[in-house]
Amino acid sequence: MKDFLKKAALLILVLLYTSVSFSQRNKIEKADKVFKTYSYIDAREIYLKVVENGYESAQIYKKLGDTYYYNSEYENAAIWYTKLINSYPGETEAEYYYKAAQSLKSANKYEESDELMEAYALKGGEGIIVSHFENSPDYLESIAEQAKHYLLNKVAINSEVSDFGPSFYGDKIVYASNPNDTEGNKVLAWNGLPYLDLYEANMDADGNLSNVSILKGDINTKYNESSTAFTKDGETVYFTRNNFFEGKKGRDKEKTIKLKLYKATKSGDSIWNNIVELPFSSDEYSVAHPALSVDEKRLYFASDMTGTFGKSDIWYVEILADNTYGTPVNLGSKINTEARESFPFISNKNRLYFSSDDHNGLGGLDVFMISLDDQGKIKGDVRNLGEPANSNYDDFGFIIDEEKQFGYVSSNRDGDGGGSVNDDIYFVKEICEITISGVVTDSVSGDLLPGALVSLLDEDHNLVESKTVGADAFYSFIADCDSKYTIRGTKKDYFPKEKVVETPEETGSITVPLALKPEGCPPEDLGCRLSLEPIYFDFDRFNIRPDAAIELAKIQSAMEEYPQLIIHIESHTDSRASHAYNDILSEKRAQSTLNWLVDQGIDRSRLSAAGYGENQLVNDCSDGVQCTEEEHQLNRRSMFIIQN
C-alpha cells in the first residue's frame, strides 16, 4: 500500500509538472510567434509571465532582451542580456555580447561594455565592428576631442508621444508624429504607440517652430509615414511609408509589412497627391529615410536589401530623366558596418550626416559626419559629433543648415533613467569657436617675456580683450569662426608686434607666437629698427591682401623717412603646383608687391624684386609632404631685404 501511495504521488507530481511545462511551452510558442511579427510589446508581456512562473532559458532571455533592445530601452535590455551571458554562456552567440555591450553604454557602464566587446571579438564577432573597436581603444577621449560645439533645446512642438525625423521644407519643417489624440487609434505592436503621420510646422529665422498642422492630400494613410526629403522648389517630396499603396498592404514571405520609399508632388499650395512607389523598393526588404544630394541628382536612403553589410546600410541611386532611377549603390565599408546605419542627410556644404550604433559611439544610435566631394565621393574620415549632439541613447535624424548654423536632431534621451520609448525633436544651434593662443618671446634671445600685454582686436581694430601673460608667457583668447582679428603684443623696452589672423569656418584652435624685438637697436641696423616683416598671399593668388597692405604701409613710411633706404623684394610660393608654374607665380607676387609701393609714391629705382618659386621653403612642406594650410601659408610670402 505504501509503495502504491508513493507511486501515485510521484505520478501526480509528474502530471502536474508536465501540465505546467506544457502550459509554459504553449505560452513561449505563442510569444515566439508574436515576436516574429515584431509585436515586441505583446511578446514581452508573455515572456515576463513565463519567467515570473519560474521558467527560464537562454532563448527567453534572448527574446526578452531583444524586445527592449529593438525599442531602444537599453538599460532594461542590458539586464536580460547580462542574465543570458551569466547563466547560459555556452548558448550565447556573439551578437548578444555586442547587443549587451551597446546596451551597457546607455547606463554609462563603458568599462563593462568594453569587456563585452572583447568577448564579442573572441566569440567570432564580425570584422568591421571589431576593427573599429580594436583600432580605437581610447574612443571616448577621441569623441570628446572631435565633438562639435552645439546648444540643444527641446522644440516647443513636441507632443506627449513620439516626434522625430525632421526635414527642411522651405520656411517649415516636416516631421513624423503619432496623433495627439491616441484614444481609439490603432497602435503599433512594435512599441504600443499609434501609427505615424507627417506633420509640418512653421520655422522662423531663428529656428523656432510653431503652428503644427498635418500634411494634406493622399500622403498620410492609416499606416506609418515618416522621414521625408523635399526638393528645393518645394514641389516634390520623397517619403517613407509602410508597404501600403492604393489601399492594399504588401507583405514579405514571413507576412511582415516592410518599409518603402514613395514620391509625391504638390497640387496647389499644400495638397500632396500623385503618390508613386519608387522602383527599387520591394516587398522583401525595407527601404527608408530618403535624403537628396545638394544638386538633387542623387537620392540617398537606408536599406537592408541584398548586399547590405549588417542590419541596415546607407545606399544611393542616381535620379535619371523621365522619373527613372539608377541601380542602388552601397556607400561601402568606410560608412556601413555589420550594425545599423540609417537616417542619412546631406548638408548644403556637402557633408553626409548619418546615424549608426557602431563607429565607436556613446551608446544607442549616434550621429556621425563625413565629407563628400563634388562628385559625391567620400573624403576624409567618419567623425562622431560627440556630446551634446549625441548621448548614450538614440540620436538620429540630424539635419542642419550650415549657413544659418542651426538644425534639429531626434532623440529619446529624455525619460526615466535617461531614456524613453518616445522620441523628441531638439533644436541644435552650432557654436563655432576658435582658440587663439601662443607664447610671447624675445625675438633675439628667445627668452619668455612674462608681463607682456597681449590684445585681441577685431577687423575694425576695436579692442575685444587683452591679457597680461604670466610666468609662462602664454596667452589664449576665444574668437569667432570665419572672422579676421589682429593679435598685438606690447611690453616696455620692446617694439609692438601685430599679427593678422583669419579664423577658419569650423571650431578648432590656432597657434600664434609673438616674438617682440627689443628696443635699442644699433643706429646702423635699419633692419632691426624698422622691424620689416614678410607679407603673405592667398593660395594661387598674387593680389595684395588687406593685412599685407598694413605691413607695406610701414615699409612705405620707412622709405619716406630714410631716403637712402633701398629695398630688394624676394617673393615665394608653397610647394603645390609645378616648379615652372610657381616660378611664374612668385614673379607676379614680387612685381605686385613692388608696384604697390610705387603706386604709393616710392621711386621705382629704390626697389628691386625677384621671384624664387618654391626653392626657399621656410619649413618641410615640400612636394608630397602632408602639411596644414597654416604651414603652407608661411611659404606664400614676400620678404624685404635692406640693400647696402
State the Cα–Cα distance between residues 324 and 318, nearest whole angstrom.
9
- Structural Rg of the chain based on CA atoms: 33
Q: In terms of CATH, what superfamily is 432-520?
A: Immunoglobulins (2.60.40.10)
Instruction: Return the pLDDT at 380.
Output: 86
CATH number for the domain running over 2-125: 1.25.40.10
Q: Taking the CB of residue 102, how many other CB atoms lie within 10 A of it? A: 25
Q: Phi and psi for 60 in degrees, rounded to 5?
A: -65, -45
Nearest to 291 by CA among 216, 388, 198, 376: 376
10-residue mean pLDDT profile of the chain (644 residues): values are 39 36 48 48 73 82 84 86 90 88 86 86 80 79 80 92 94 86 50 79 96 93 91 96 64 72 91 94 94 97 94 95 93 92 95 92 91 90 92 94 93 66 90 92 91 90 90 93 89 86 86 87 57 85 90 87 86 92 94 94 92 89 88 90 71
Tell me the pTM: 0.66
Beta strands (DSSP E) in 363-519 are: 366-372, 378-384, 395-401, 406-411, 424-430, 433-442, 453-457, 463-468, 474-480, 484-490, 497-502, 508-511, 514-516
The domain spans of the chain are 2-125, 150-430, 432-520, 524-644
Cis peptide preceding 518, ω within 30 of 0:
no
Q: Which three cell numbers stand for residue 90?
A: 555556452
CA-CA distance, 321 to 323, in Å (whole number)?
Answer: 6
Containing 336, the helix (H) or strand (E) segment is none
**Residues ≥6 apart with Cβ < 8 Å to 47:** 28, 31, 60, 63, 64, 67
What is the CATH code for 150-430? 2.120.10.30
Residue with grid cell 605686385, as numbered in its chain: 592
Give the pLDDT score at 624: 84
Domain 524-644 - what CATH class? Answer: alpha beta
The pLDDT of residue 600 is 93
CA distance 490 to 494: 7
